[in-house]
Amino acid sequence: MFIFGVGFIPQLGVTGVALSTAGVRFIIMIGLFIILHKRMTEPLTIKEFFSYEKEYASKILAIGVPSAGEILSYNVSQIVLTMMITTLGATALATRVYSQNLMSVLTVFSLSIAKGMQIYIGQLVGARKQTDAYHTLFVGLKYATIITIIIGSIFALFGRQIFGIFSNDPNLIQLGAMILVIELLLQPARTGNLVIISALRAAGDAVFPVMVGIAVMWGVLVPLAYVLGITLNLGLVGIWAAMLVDEWIRASLMFIRWKKKRWLGKSIAANKLS
Neighbours of 255 (CB within 10 A): 18
Helix axes 235-259, 90-126, angle to 10 degrees: 10
Is residue 167 within 8 A of residue 173, CB to CB? The reply is yes
What is the reported pLDDT for 266?
62
What is the reported pLDDT for 6?
82
Distance CA 53, CA 56 (A): 6
Q: Residues in the chain with pLDDT < 70?
A: 265-274
Distance CA 118, CA 215 (A): 24
Tally helices (H) and strands (E) across the chain: 11, 0
Distance CA 106, CA 204 (A): 27
What is the reported pLDDT for 273?
46
Distance CA 160, CA 177 (A): 5
What is the reported pLDDT for 60?
78
What are residue 129's phi and psi, to 5 degrees? Answer: -110, 60
Domain coordinates of the chain in residue numbers? 1-51, 53-273
What is the reported pLDDT for 267?
56
Is residue 244 within 8 A of residue 228, CB to CB? The reply is no
Three-class DSSP category at 146: helix
Q: Identity (one letter) of the amino acid at 193?
A: N
Task: Report pLDDT digits (tens) over 197-222.
Answer: 999 988 888 889 999 999 999 999 99
